[in-house]
Amino acid sequence: MSSVHSSTVLAETMSWYCALFLAMMLVLSCCESSESDQFIVQMKQGMKRACDEIYVVREGETLHTISEKCGDPFIVEENPHIHDPDDVFPGLVIKITPFKFL
């Protein structure tokens, strides 16, 4: 009668655990959405609400809310007259260039 070494049993057990772990990782990777997918969805929503090329800031707005509303993630870069992004006031005129999808 042949006996099985404990190292063989350990190796087989470890291979089953690894296979189970890989299968679980595969299932979980299919269920979660990536950050880039969420960014694209947000940008598409912004394209539906596109603003005019010249935008006048209203009371209570920030560059972040305007960026989301108009679909322009690069407002500060396109408006060199904005020295401090936190110093945005009603009546400030800014240039808007909505993000374009190819």
Q: Do strands 93-95 and 54-56 pair parallel, antiparallel, or not at all (unpaired)?
A: antiparallel
The CATH superfamily of 35-95 is LysM domain (3.10.350.10)
Q: Is the Cα dihedral 2, 7, 13, 16 positive or negative?
A: negative
Which residues of the chain fall short of a pLDDT of 50?
A: 46, 102
Q: What is the per-residue pLDDT for 31?
A: 65
Percent of the chain with pLDDT over 90: 16
> Structural domain boundaries of the chain?
1-32, 35-95
CA distance 96 to 98: 6
Q: What is the per-residue pLDDT for 100?
A: 60
